[in-house]
Amino acid sequence: MTGLIKTPEQIEIMAEGGRRLAAVLALLRRETKPGVTTLELDRIARMKIEAGGDKPAFLHYRPAGARKAYPFTLCASVNDVVVHGQPSGYVLREGDILKLDLGLRHQGLYLDSAITVPVGGMGKVPKEVQRLILVTEESLALGIKEAKPGKRLGDIGYAIENIVLKNGFSVAEGLTGHGIGENMHEDPSVFNFGDRHTGMLLKEGMVIAIEPMVAIGSGDIVQLKDEGYGTVDRSWAAHFEHTIAITAKGPRILTVV
């Protein structure tokens, strides 16, 4: 099993990879417009990652339990699709929300990040959906604040779930963050719910991907034909993610420009 603790040198490599990944996601955000297909966004993502000398993390990746390897660079999940939606000829419309989940491998180490983009701008989606996006992003920020030595995984999950429930939303069931580094998915699982002072002790040198996935409705999910996950009640969902290094000075967000 891959070690949970990364060396300072590995973390610096991941920080450079994270900067590159953040730059690609920023470009994809700008290109997410009415009339664009999610397949076109996938093409842009692959081109930009490979132009930088890196490799798409998701392309040809087969996670545990998957029937086949993933055939795209980008996960593009629209509206009630929570995560792992496959790019297609779907033409984005003003008022949609698009979850862009992207990973890359830089010098042998993996990074993972996700954003939710309102197509046409925040003012083009309903007020409740605007609130969903803002609360999900805030829940990520609160979860990150708990990612420091001496805290536990349950502290991260509690911080995320607490604000989600206070706002009347639901954590998507069964979907979690994860450790990351030499492999795309490593121990530990990082749940978006939990109790304070419970779970694995967080230590300096650990690197985890924290990724709240939040639904307006019940949070119950179903696997779709393309192996993505959607909400059972078809309520819309949001998703944000950063790769975080746990350091003596506190959480360090690696996936930022």
The per-residue pLDDT for range 68-108, each reduced to its tens digit, is 899 999 999 999 999 999 999 999 999 999 999 999 999 99
Average pLDDT over residues 247-257: 97
Burial class, 67, CB count within 10 angstroms (exposed 0-12 / middle 13-18 / buried 19+): exposed
Distance CA 22, CA 240 (A): 12
Mean pLDDT, the chain, whole residue set: 96
Question: How would DSSP label each residue in 69-115?
Answer: ----SEEEEETTEEE-PPP-SPBP-TT-EEEEEEEEEETTEEEEEEE
pLDDT of residue 1: 35
Describe the crossing of helices 127-145 and 153-166 by its angle, rounded to 10 degrees.
Answer: 160
Q: What is the pLDDT of residues 119-150, one digit of tens each?
A: 999 999 999 999 999 999 999 999 999 999 99
Does the pLDDT at position 38 exceed 70? yes
What percent of the chain shows pLDDT beyond 90?
Answer: 94
Distance CA 106, CA 182 (A): 10
pLDDT of residue 256: 97
> At which residue do the structure tokens 């911080």 appear?
159
Closest CA to 230 of 39, 61, 99: 99
Average pLDDT over residues 250-256: 98
Does the pLDDT at position 64 exceed 80? no
The domain limits of the chain are 8-253
What percent of the chain shows pLDDT beyond 70?
Answer: 99
pTM, 2 dp: 0.96
Q: What is the pLDDT of residues 221-241, one digit of tens each?
A: 999 998 899 999 999 999 999
Does the pLDDT at position 169 exceed 60? yes
Does the pLDDT at position 209 exceed 60? yes
pLDDT of residue 2: 52
Distance CA 90, CA 16 (A): 33
Distances (CA, A) of 206 to 195, 201, 244: 20, 10, 8
Tell which CATH classification among 3.40.630.10, 3.40.720.10, 2.40.50.140, 3.90.230.10 matches the domain 8-253: 3.90.230.10
pLDDT tier at 187 (50, 70, 90 boundaries)? very high
- What is the H or E stretch that residue 210 is in? strand 207-210
Average pLDDT over residues 250-254: 98
Distance CA 192, CA 171 (A): 7
